[in-house]
């Protein structure tokens, strides 16, 4: 029997980016807020200091910041004919854990999606005709437009102090920025980061090939910045320990460096860490959430009643909690019916490695940051004519080499033995003179009928709850698109002067053990009707109106960008709707 805590106005499940944003917005509106976080409190100022933070073995290899698979995991299979098996060590994506969530260990690549990404199905259908899309592709429009989200993108970028060069301010195209981006209301809050040598050469080569390279928008700051909440960030030192790590210099935007210092001072905010929410509680009719039940480290069950429930966990766990709590209809791939688990997507990432003459090139790859890079957007979204190509989708290409860490970033030419003195010699010969961008091609993944999430029939977690089961594979459209983009990317490396270019296009089947990105999307998507979505456009559950589900689980499909900017913009968009509409008149914000 759970012990009951005093009721709160709002309870938040998960204290990462969206949990922190929502908690701040709701506290600011005067609500009492309790945030319940599965992992530990994480205080970078005490735990991740220089030079402790730059421990590649501890954080990169041994996954110190991440969820322990023994605490909870998921099962995986490529298709419905297979039996899914549990994941025992993370591979294709990393699951953050603790306060800050993914916002603590991200690379801080802070993109906006293209205006056409939000109206994807209508746009592609209009340009190429409905028949151009694969029959089982289930992409759809988001129900909102880029213009709806623009003020909220802006808010997040100014919260973070994002460093970049604007390409489009109020419709005016600016040299040096991304000419394809949607119009932004004002320039980035801080100038772009400085670019290392290889990134600069990449941009020169791209320019010579007729492209318009621009610096990747970065949450690792080019200069000190004080955000609108009064929180200060420092300038990045280009140490190259960003992704998988917490920043030791207050220079990577994270909940800890932008919101939490203000949030923890608010008397109407509390956080409970090392407490795992096991279900969202509903009233007898199943139409209203009454709060959540969580378990502490002693195994004690607690009930936190609340008028408003904000599901702010990682994509997978948002979907799992909906399924376990009996909210919405589980997706059924045979019929296409049901919304929870549908349109599950990831990212289609690939690269090419450029080996250069070491006598002529010294790239010093250790001078880097997680979101450094010179990119081109000519092959993203529908910025290029897909008609003759026979596929849809795309991504940005870039020299976005984020690090020169000694365990991870030791590229050697094909044919080199995997160990021994020859391998060592090859590492020595190539370390300084290789262009090696883990995600040089960062491309979209569109939704398909048979990529989905549901509850595993066999494997259970420590609370005897079924694990999430992911059924996922690449489709021909994505592989074709990726091969095309990888070729374009390799051309740029060749033009840079590489003596050898090794292409590494993404190949099927989807491999759960090889890292791509941690950008899992969908499963509880937003849309215009209960027939096409789990959530309305304000991220409010169609089934339980006092439940809002934040995060990339709401993306109908994934675009060719890193998702955090859009995740955060949606959180501010949803928070604005809660503050301006829902609190005045609690109930469905969109009538089905």
Partner 1 sequence: MHSSRVIIASALIGVATLLPARAIDIQDFDLIQHGKYLADIGDCGACHTLLGSGAMLAGGRPIETPFGTLLGPNITPDPQTGIGAWTDNEFINSLTKGTGRNGTHLYPAMPYTYMTKITREDALAIRAYLNTIPAVHNPVQPNQLAFPFDVRAGLVAWDELNFRPGEFKPVAGKSPVWNRGAYVVEGLAHCGLCHTPKNAAGGDETSQRLKGYALQGWFAPDITNNKRRGIGSWSVDDIVTYLKTGHNRFSAASGPMAEAIMDSTSKFTDDDLKAIATYLKDQPVENAADEVGDLEASAMKSGSAIYADQCSACHAADGSGVDGLFPMLKGSPLVQSVDPASVLHVLLRGARSAATDPAPTAPAMPSFGRMLNDDEVAAVATYVRNAWGNRAPPVDAAAVGKTRHALEQRND
In the bound state with partner 1, the residue whose beta carbon lies nearer, of 170 and 265, is: 265
Residues 6+ positions from 357 with CB-CB distance below 8 Å: 433, 497, 499
Q: Does 210 bind partner 1 (CB under 8 A)?
A: no
Q: How far apart are CA 378 and CA 477, in angstroms?
A: 18
Q: Does the protein bind partner 1 through residue 228 (CB under 8 A)?
A: no
**Cα 307 to Cα 212: distance, rounded to the nearest angstrom:** 50
CA distance linking residue 569 with residue 590, whole number of Å: 20
What does the DSSP 8-state code read for residue 384? S
- The residue whose two tokens read 């949606």 is 570
Nearer to partner 1 by C-beta: 259 or 549? 259
Query: Taking Cα atoms as reference points, which of 341, 285, 293 lies closest to residue 543?
Result: 285
Residue of 69, 176, 187, 234 interacting with partner 1 (CB under 8 A) = 234
163 touching partner 1, by CB under 8 A: no
- Scanning 161-259, the segments in alpha helix (DSSP H) are 197-208, 255-258
Least spacing, CB of residue 248 vs partner 1, in Å = 7
CB 110, CB 218: distance < 8 Å:
yes
Site membership for partner 1, residue 46 (CB under 8 A): yes
For partner 1, the binding residue among 4, 71, 83, 224 (CB under 8 A) is: 224
Q: Rounded to the nearest whole angstrom, what is the least distance from the CB of residue 210 to partner 1 in the complex? A: 40
Q: How far is the CB of 7 from partner 1 (least distance, A)?
A: 23
Q: Which of 24, 152, 442, 519 is catalytic?
A: 519
Question: Is 519 among the residues known to form the active site?
Answer: yes
Closest separation between CB of residue 47 and partner 1, Å? 9
Dihedrals phi, psi of 96, to nearest 5 degrees? -65, 165
Residue closer to partner 1 (CB basis): 262 or 432: 262
R_g of the chain, CA atoms, integer Å: 23
Binding footprint of partner 1, residue count (CB under 8 A)? 24
Closest CA to 195 of 160, 175, 220, 159: 220
Cβ closer to partner 1: 261 or 338?
261
- We find the least distance from the C-beta atom of residue 64 to partner 1, in angstroms, to be 17
Q: What is the rounded end-to-end Cα distance, in angstroms, of the chain?
A: 37
Report if residue 57 touches partner 1, rule: CB under 8 A.
no
Out of 4, 30, 40, 45, the residue judged to bind partner 1 by CB under 8 A:
45
**DSSP element (H, E) containing 354:** strand 348-355
| Residue 191 contacts partner 1 per CB under 8 A | no
CB atoms within 10 A of CB 184: 22
Tokens of 323: 């399924």
Report in angstroms the alpha-carbon separations of 28 from 13, 22, 25, 192, 579: 18, 10, 5, 31, 10
Cα 585 to Cα 438, 535, 578: the distances in Å are 48, 18, 9
Candidate residues 1, 3, 6, 51; the one interacting with partner 1 per rule CB under 8 A: 51
From residue 352, alpha-carbon distances to 224, 487, 488 in Å are: 34, 9, 10
Query: Of the ranges 67-75, 191-199, 242-250, 444-452, which one interacts with partner 1 (CB under 8 A)?
Result: 242-250
**By the rule CB under 8 A, 242 interacts with partner 1:** no
Count of CB atoms within 10 A of residue 589's CB? 19
Distances, alpha carbon 66 to alpha carbons 106, 288, 314, 550, in Å = 12, 33, 12, 20
With residue 29 as reference, give the H or E element that holds it: none
Instruction: Kindly tell me which of 90 and 250 has the beta carbon lying closer to partner 1.
Output: 250
Please state the closest distance from residue 249 (CB atom) to partner 1, in A.
Answer: 6
| Least Å from the CB of residue 229 to partner 1 | 7
| Min CB(50)–partner 1 separation in Å | 5
Residue closer to partner 1, measured from CB, 224 or 389: 224
Q: Which stretch binds partner 1 (CB under 8 A): 106-114, 249-257, 274-282, 497-505?
A: 249-257
- Contact stretch for partner 1 (CB under 8 A) within 204-212, 235-243, 284-292, 312-320: 235-243
Query: What is the number of helices (H) and of strands (E) in the chain?
Result: 12, 25
Q: How far is the CB of 536 from partner 1 (least distance, A)?
A: 35
Applying CB under 8 A, the span of 228-236, 342-350, 418-426, 479-487 interacting with partner 1 comes to: 228-236
Query: Reduced to 3 states, what is the DSSP secondary structure of residue 60?
Result: helix
Q: Is 222 in the site for partner 1 (CB under 8 A)?
A: no
Q: Which C-beta is closer to partner 1: that of 86 or that of 235?
A: 235
Which residue, 589, 515, 527, 530, is CA-closest to 557?
527
Interface with partner 1 (CB under 8 A), residue from 239, 319, 367, 569: 239
Stretch of residues binding partner 1 (CB under 8 A), selected from 17-25, 246-254, 342-350, 407-415? 246-254
Rounded least distance, CB 266 to partner 1, Å: 10
Is 368 an interacting residue with respect to partner 1 (CB under 8 A)?
no
By beta-carbon proximity to partner 1, the closer residue of 118 and 250 is 250
Sorted by sequence, the CB contacts under 8 Å of residue 521 that are 6+ apart come out as 315, 344, 345, 346, 445, 552, 553, 555, 557, 558, 563
C-alpha–C-alpha distance, residues 8 and 495, integer Å: 60
Where does this chain touch partner 1 (CB under 8 A) — which range of 48-56, 209-217, 379-387, 469-477? 48-56
Strand partners of residue 218: 109, 163
Determine the interface stretch with partner 1 among 70-78, 161-169, 232-240, 546-554 (rule: CB under 8 A): 232-240
Per-residue contact flags (x/-) with partner 1 for residues 251 to 290, judged by CB under 8 A = ------x---xx--x-------------------------
Active site residues: 519
Q: Give me the residues that bind partner 1 (CB under 8 A), please.
A: 45-46, 49-52, 224, 226, 229-235, 237, 239, 248-250, 257, 261-262, 265
């Amino acid at each position: 029997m759970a012990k009951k805590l005093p009721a709160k106005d709002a309870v938040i499940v998960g204290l990462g980016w969206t949990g922190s944003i929502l908690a701040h917005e709701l506290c600011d509106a005067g609500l009492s807020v309790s945030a319940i976080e599965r992992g530990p409190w994480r205080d970078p100022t005490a735990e991740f200091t220089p030079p402790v933070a730059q421990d590649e073995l501890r954080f990169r290899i041994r996954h110190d910041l991440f969820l322990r698979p023994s605490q909870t995991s998921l099962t995986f299979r490529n298709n419905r004919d297979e039996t899914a098996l549990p994941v025992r060590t993370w591979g294709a994506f990393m699951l953050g854990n603790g306060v800050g969530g993914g916002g603590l260990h991200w690379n801080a690549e802070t993109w906006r999606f293209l205006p056409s990404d939000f109206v994807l199905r209508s746009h592609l259908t209009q340009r190429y005709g409905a028949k151009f899309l694969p029959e089982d592709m289930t992409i759809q429009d988001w129900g909102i437009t880029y213009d709806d989200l623009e003020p909220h993108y802006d808010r997040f970028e100014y919260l973070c102090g994002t460093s970049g060069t604007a390409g489009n301010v109020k419709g005016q195209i600016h040299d040096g920025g991304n000419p394809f981006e949607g119009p932004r209301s004002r320039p980035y809050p801080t100038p772009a980061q400085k670019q290392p040598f290889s990134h600069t050469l990449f941009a020169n080569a791209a320019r010579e090939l007729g492209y318009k390279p621009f610096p990747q928008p970065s949450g690792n700051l080019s200069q000190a910045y004080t955000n609108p909440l009064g929180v200060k960030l420092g300038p990045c030192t280009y140490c190259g320990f960003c992704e998988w790590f917490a920043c030791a210099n207050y220079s990577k935007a994270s909940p800890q460096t932008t919101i939490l210092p203000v949030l923890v001072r608010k008397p109407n905010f509390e956080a409970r860490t090392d407490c795992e929410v096991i279900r969202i509680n509903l009233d007898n009719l199943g139409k209203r959430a009454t709060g959540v039940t969580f378990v502490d480290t002693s195994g004690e069950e607690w009930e936190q009643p609340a008028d408003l429930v904000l599901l702010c966990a990682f994509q997978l766990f948002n979907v799992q909690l909906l399924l376990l709590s009996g909210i919405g209809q589980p997706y059924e791939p045979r019929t296409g019916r049901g919304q929870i688990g549908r349109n599950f997507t990831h990212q289609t990432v690939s690269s090419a490695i450029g080996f250069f003459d070491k006598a002529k090139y010294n790239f010093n790859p250790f001078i880097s940051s997680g979101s450094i890079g010179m990119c081109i957007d000519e092959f993203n979204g529908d910025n290029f004519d897909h008609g003759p190509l026979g596929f849809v989708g795309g991504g940005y290409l870039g020299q976005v080499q984020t690090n020169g860490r000694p365990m991870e970033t030791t590229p050697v030419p094909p044919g080199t033995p995997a160990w021994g003195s020859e391998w060592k010699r090859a590492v020595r010969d190539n370390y300084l003179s290789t262009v090696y961008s883990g995600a040089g091609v960062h491309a979209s993944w569109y939704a398909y009928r048979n990529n989905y999430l549901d509850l595993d029939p066999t494997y259970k977690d420590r609370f005897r709850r079924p694990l999430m089961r992911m059924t996922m594979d690449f489709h021909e459209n994505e592989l074709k698109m990726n091969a095309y983009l990888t070729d374009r990317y390799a051309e740029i490396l060749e033009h840079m002067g590489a003596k050898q270019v090794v292409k590494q296009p993404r190949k099927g089947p989807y491999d759960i053990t090889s890292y791509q990105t941690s950008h899992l999307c969908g499963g509880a998507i937003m849309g215009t009707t209960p027939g096409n979505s789990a959530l309305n456009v304000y991220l409010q559950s169609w089934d339980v109106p006092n439940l809002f589900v934040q995060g990339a689980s709401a993306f109908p499909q994934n675009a060719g960008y890193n998702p955090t900017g859009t995740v955060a913009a949606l959180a501010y968009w949803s928070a604005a709707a809660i503050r301006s509409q829902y609190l005045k008149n609690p109930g469905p914000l969109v009538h089905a």
